[in-house]
Amino acid sequence: MKYSKLSNKWYLFRDQAVSAFRAVFSWRHSWVFLILNILLLSSLFLGSWKIFQDFQENILILHYNVDFGVDWIGEKKSVFLLAQIALAFFLFDFLILLIVAKKKYYRFLSFFVWGAAIISEIFLLAALFSIYLVNFR
Whole-prediction pTM value? 0.81
Percent of the chain scoring above 90 in pLDDT: 30
The 3-class secondary structure across the chain, one letter per residue, is CHHHHHHHHHHHHHHHHHHHHHHHCCCHHHHHHHHHHHHHHHHHHHHHHHHHHHCCCCEEEEEEECCCEEEEEEEHHHHHHHHHHHHHHHHHHHHHHHHCCCCCCHHHHHHHHHHHHHHHHHHHHHHHHHHHHHHHC
Best CA proximity match to 113, nearest among 132, 129, 127, 95: 95
**What local confidence, expressed as pLDDT, does residue 3 receive?**
65
92-127: pLDDT as tens digits: 998 988 888 878 887 888 889 899 999 999 999 999
Cα 36 to chain centroid, rounded: 11
